[in-house]
């Protein structure tokens, strides 16, 4: 227990200490829970009641939406020091979640009660700036997603997706199935498999079972 608390303090200071006041960091330490979550676990689902704001301290999370047919659309990713703008919006409006948040890798997530977020918005300038910057960053990423869907060919979107994944995970090795990629890009597995094969022929990637290796970023 003591070791987990020490880890929590160190992670919070490393991830948020350089942008938030020391007093606020102390309040975050005292009013939050640290959760270790395995890869490919849904931490927030569509329709969930939200009582906590998640802040990623280690690892990364995929944020997606789902249509009436159950098809999933990738919106953006959050990683170390980030929080989710869509989750923040639901917390402020006291509405149910409209997104799904899934861990991309084993992650450490800080859970902050909604009521503390509202208190800190009035009390700390750095917290207001952190929340506003989070909104701005996520909205910029949403615009990039919309631009990619609207203006880029699927093969271009696929290569961008693989490159973004490699940067996010810090590895040229991407452990996704063709079906997972198809779902993220709102396409079919057959089409994605064909486009991946074309990238392999061009020597941009190497395809293995449930694994894709980029030659470079």
**Can you tell me whether residue 124 is helix, strand or coil?**
coil
Does 2-150 match 153-214 in CATH topology?
A: no
Identify whether the C-beta of residue 200 lies closer than 8 Å to the C-beta of residue 211.
Answer: no
pLDDT tens-digit map of 164-183: 999 988 889 999 889 989 88
pTM to 2 decimal places: 0.79
pLDDT tens-digit map of 69-107: 777 788 898 988 899 888 888 877 778 888 999 999 999
pLDDT tens-digit map of 118-146: 899 999 999 999 999 998 998 898 888 88
The token pair at 9 is 């303090």
Predicted confidence at residue 1, as pLDDT, reads 55
Topology of the domain comprising 153-214: Arc Repressor Mutant, subunit A (1.10.10)
Q: How far is residue 125 CA from its own chain's centroid?
A: 25
What is the residue extent of each domain of the chain? 2-150, 153-214
Superfamily of domain covering 2-150: Jelly Rolls (2.60.120.10)
Residue ranges of E strands in the chain? 33-37, 42-44, 52-58, 60-66, 72-79, 100-103, 107-113, 173-174, 205-208, 211-214
């Amino acid at each position: 227990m003591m070791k987990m608390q020490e880890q929590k303090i160190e992670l919070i200071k490393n991830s948020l200490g350089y942008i938030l006041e020391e007093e606020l960091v102390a309040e975050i330490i005292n009013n939050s829970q640290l959760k270790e979550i395995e890869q490919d676990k849904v931490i927030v689902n569509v329709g969930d009641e939200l009582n906590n704001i998640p802040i990623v301290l280690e690892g990364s999370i995929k944020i997606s939406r789902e249509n009436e047919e159950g098809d999933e659309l990738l919106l953006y990713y959050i990683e170390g020091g980030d929080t989710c703008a869509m989750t923040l919006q639901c917390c402020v409006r006291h509405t149910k979640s409209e997104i799904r948040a899934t861990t991309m890798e084993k992650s450490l997530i800080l859970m902050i009660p909604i009521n503390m977020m509202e208190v800190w918005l009035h009390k700390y300038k750095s917290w207001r700036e952190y929340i506003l910057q989070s909104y701005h960053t996520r909205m910029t990423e949403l615009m990039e997603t919309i631009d990619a869907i609207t203006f880029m060919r699927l093969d271009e979107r696929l290569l961008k997706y693989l490159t973004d994944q490699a940067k996010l995970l810090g590895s040229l090795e991407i452990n996704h199935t063709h079906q997972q990629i198809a779902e993220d890009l709102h396409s079919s597995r057959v089409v994605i498999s064909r486009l991946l094969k074309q990238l392999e022929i061009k020597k941009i990637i190497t395809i293995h079972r449930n694994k894709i290796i980029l030659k470079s970023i």
